[in-house]
Amino acid sequence: MQYNLPADLQYVETDEWLRIEGDEAIVGITDYAQSALGDIVFLELPEVGDTFTAGQTYGVIESVKASSDLYAPVDCEVLAVNSPLIDNQEPINSDPYGDGWMLRIKITGGTDQLLDVAAYTKSVEERDH
């Protein structure tokens, strides 16, 4: 299947994307992740001020098919959360890189583990074949 994976974003294996702006970033889940999960029906996000290390669980997402953890792509502190998503998860499916954003974070650690679009596309293809 074809997925919308914008070239200007950074990715992680656990299917989160980052839009890095200086030492801050916007975080959400990728088009592949929303497609694999199907219609999202529940979302749990952290509080502003919470801190995470890369790979740590920052929230929970649930669709009609499955529930899954959400993983912090980098060491970070949460600056803002997209709280309207808690009551209406539809934008995660319809607009994962826009209204479906989840967190604004301050990056507090390294970013070497992030994948560019080519590496992430390869990862998706391996799993989706």
Binding site for other proteins (CB under 8 A): 36, 39, 41-42, 64-68, 89, 127-128
When the beta carbons of 7 and 64 are compared against other proteins, the nearer one is 64
| DSSP secondary structure string for all residues of 31-48 | HHHHHHH-SEEEEE---T
Considering beta carbons, is residue 23 or 39 the nearer one to other proteins?
A: 39
DSSP letter, residue 115 = B
Question: Least distance (Å) from other proteins to the CB of residue 66?
Answer: 5
**Closer CB to other proteins, residue 66 or residue 80?**
66
Dmax (CA) for the chain in angstroms is: 39
β-bridge mates for residue 107, sequence order = 76
Q: How far apart are CA 83 and CA 46, in angstroms?
A: 10
Cβ neighbors of 118 (< 8 A, separation 6 or more) are: none
- Specify the residue, 65 or 122, whose C-beta has the smaller distance to other proteins: 65
The least distance separating other proteins from the CB of residue 39, rounded to whole angstroms, comes to 4
Rounded CA separation 59/46 (Å): 6
